[in-house]
Structure 1
Amino acid sequence: MALTLSERAASHVAGFLARRGKGLGVRLAVKTAGCSGMAYKLEFVDVAAETDLVFESHGVRIYTDAKSLPYIDGTELDYAKEGLNEGFQFNNPNVKNECGCGESFHV
């Protein structure tokens, strides 16, 4: 499978990278955190690691590591704006349940 971005998310990331004036793409990974066990980690990538796995979606590169991929494989990163709230949403088919606050998940 792969990691993908919706068109909205890709446009948003591309705009951020352009305003920053640097960056290769974004890194999507997981870390141990929260009440459900895992949390997403999303950050800009300025230098790729040799071991990075790289996917491309709508012209934007998504980087991850081999340890994170089994937990996020097939995930689509979307960007939504609802009223005053806006932000990235993770559509991860591997999630079995999430904590009440939405900050962490379990596979």
Structure 2
Amino acid sequence: MARQLPKAIRLTDAAAEHLREIMARSEGKYIGLRVGVKNGGCAGMEYTMEYAEAQKPLDEVVEDKGVRILIDPKAILFLIGTEMDYQTEKFSSGFKFNNPNQTDACGCGESVTIEPARL
């Protein structure tokens, strides 16, 4: 019997609500949110997000709380177990990644150090 793998990413209620509102306003233009990681910044990696108009052949698709998240296959091991939140503060608002694979972050919070998940 195969072991059930955890979802690569899950949304908090706040993140799901914000994304559902954005998708509703897009009038069908976007099918979901594409999430990934790329090399960059002083800590080594940066999270990437963009609205997806189409699914790519190797995307991993996660459905959570009515939102479709498409994940670049190269990013999956770096994102397993990640919770994506949306926070509104006094002077800013935005998405925040709570990633158990993240081992460090730069001082400004723009880049992170992430180790691949151990399955």
How does the TM-score come out when normalised to structure 1? 0.96
Query: Alignment partner for residue 8 of structure 1, among 5, 14, 25?
Result: 14
1:70 is aligned to 2:115: no
Amino acid at match of 1:8: A
User: Shift of residue 55 of structure 1?
Assistant: 0.5
Alpha-carbon deviations, 1:22-67, whole Å to 9, x = none?
A: 2111011001110011000011111001111001110101110221
Distance 2:58 2:11 in 1: 21
Query: Alignment partner for residue 105 of structure 2, among 86, 98, 101?
Result: 98
1:41 is aligned to 2:31: no
Identity fraction in percent: 42
CA RMSD, 1 decimal: 0.8
Unaligned runs of 5+ in 1: none
Distance 1:66 1:84 in 2: 34
List, as ranges, runs of 4+ consecutive aligned residues in structure 1 with deviation greater than 3 Å: none
Which position in structure 2 is the counterpart of 1:53?
60
Amino acid at match of 1:65: D
Larger radius of gyration, structure 1 or 2?
A: 2
Unaligned runs of 5+ in 2: 1-5, 115-119
How does the TM-score come out when normalised to structure 2? 0.86
1:18 is aligned to 2:24: yes
